[in-house]
Amino acid sequence: MRKNRAPLPERILANWPAKALSLAAAIMLFLFHNFSTLAERRLSVDLNVRFSDGLTAAQTYPRKVWVTVRGPEQSISAAQAADLEATADFSRFTVEGIHKAPVLVRKKGALETMDPLEIHVEPMELALTLERKGRKLVDVIPSFKGAPSADYGLGNYVLTPDKVEVVGPLSEIDDIFSVETEEIELSGKREDFTVKVKLKKSHPLMAFSNGDVVEFRGQIMETLMTKMLGDRSIRVRGLPPNLRLSDALPPGSLWIQGGRAALDILRPEQVGLVVDCSGIALPGVYTLPVRSEAPPGILVTRFDPVQVTLDVRPGGR
């Protein structure tokens, strides 16, 4: 005997509470499965803050933000901070005061086409006090560390450029008149040298219009020492053979200057005092200048006497 079948709507609605619970359970299982297969990664991303031409931040602000990305585990594991770009744009503000801007994150690189992908950034918003931007040309001052080798010292030096333009909040720039370089190492130097060196920031919001690196060229010179040579005979040169001095000339003294190495190898006969008598033709009393003699690398800074009186008489020496 054939049974009567109930209409389709009745069959669908039959035991509806049980069917609804089964459907809900299936959806929850599907969502839980998808949720459990997503991976999460937290990345520190550089924050790019933009300002209008005439304004800048009057306070420090975070240079990085935390970005949490959530997506398929295989793809998320390869994600890098370079695949995200974080920006807070204050360029629409043109008057001083406290302003807010959202932190926006853009996907790029390996994350650009990833789907599904959830992105959460901390902080989500940035509030800054904006102030007029100042510009000023200031001197560059070198800063040194250590000392050259023994008997050497730093002579002349050149900084290129020797002035730089600083940019920052007007209230801070007004008080800046010079900037220092990072320490330039002099230890053990014996020869001239050239080095690139960074500039120090006296305020974290200060910047340099043309970069923060200058060139330093230093001249390393041997340290000069001074020495006194006393009781030195004054030599007579050019006196005609038919003339002679009535008395020997008194001894003189010299003060010389030079590097230690040059002074160490100096021989006594290389330094002295001389009187040129080549202009004397007849006997008589003459007052003539005294001059000094020294080899290259030795400087005579002073000598005594600077002139002598000669009693020239007939007769050979």
What is the β-pairing status of strands 224-232 and 163-169? unpaired
Residue 79: per-residue pLDDT = 82
In a domain, 181, yes or no: yes
Give Cα separations from 195 to 3, 53, 165 (angstroms).
102, 34, 21
For the chain, which residues score pLDDT lower than 50?
1-2, 30-33, 35-36
User: Which tokens belong to 89?
Assistant: 């744009």
Domain of 80, in residue numbers? 35-123
In a domain, 6, yes or no: no
In a domain, 28, yes or no: no
Residue with tokens 């359970």: 25
289 strand-pairing partners = 307
pTM of the entire predicted model: 0.60
Residue 152: per-residue pLDDT = 87
In a domain, 140, yes or no: yes
Shared domain for 228 and 299, answered yes or no, is: yes
pLDDT tens track for 122-162:
999 999 999 999 999 999 999 999 999 888 889 899 999 99
Residue 1: per-residue pLDDT = 47
Domain end position, chosen among 97, 123, 149: 123
Shared domain for 212 and 236, answered yes or no, is: no
How many domains are contained in the chain?
3
pLDDT tens track for 24-51:
655 555 444 454 457 788 999 999 999 9
Residue 297: per-residue pLDDT = 87
Shared domain for 263 and 214, answered yes or no, is: no
Domain end position, chosen among 123, 157, 174: 123
CATH of residue 139: 2.170.120.40
Q: Indicate the residue type of 163.
A: K
Domain end position, chosen among 222, 255, 288: 222
CATH of residue 282: 2.170.120.30
Shared domain for 282 and 310, answered yes or no, is: yes
